[in-house]
Homo-oligomer: A and B are copies of this chain.
Amino acid sequence: MKIMNPDPAPVFFEKCAQHGLKITPQRKVIYQEVMKAKDHPTADAVYKRTRKILSNISFDTVYRTLLSFTEIGIINLVEGYGEQKRFEPDPAPHHHFRCIKCHTIFDFENDSYDHIPVPDEVRKYGNVTNKRVVLEGICSKCSKSK
């Protein structure tokens, strides 16, 4: 017996409840589409995939929902984060602390981070020319202004 649209994992219901998000058919489908993705889909890609199941879902719903899911931590946003491009002058190796609320990036240097070994596994993907550690969290300013 083939189940066409099984319910999402319990974590989905738990997290939504925790954060007061209602369970809608749209959200269930969007969540499942992201969970089964093997790539890192854009909002537009998720939109196209969900439309095969919910034929009149709107882009805005998909987009907003993805952001909501990101906020409650059931999916992730990968770099780039879709904001404006930002440039930096310093070509010396350094690392970043990034605030997930206000998106400010703080630079720091760290010698041991500079020298982390590249796993063999990664060599098959390509030739590594830059290493960067990105630490993410909420900056002190944002956690105060809460």
- Kindly identify which residue among B69, B79, B118, B136 contacts A81, using a CB–CB cutoff of 8 Å: B79
B-chain residues with CB within 8 Å of residue A29 when the two chains form the complex: none
Contact B116 A127 (CB under 8 A): no
* Copies of this protein chain in the complex: 2
Per the CB 8 Å criterion, the residue count for chain A at the interface is 68
Q: A2 interface residue, CB < 8 Å from B?
A: no
Seed contacts A78-B87, A113-B116; 19 additional CB < 8 Å A-B pairs: A37-B87, A40-B88, A42-B85, A66-B87, A77-B86, A78-B88, A78-B96, A79-B79, A79-B105, A79-B134, A100-B130, A116-B116, A116-B133, A126-B138, A126-B140, A128-B135, A128-B136, A129-B137, A131-B133
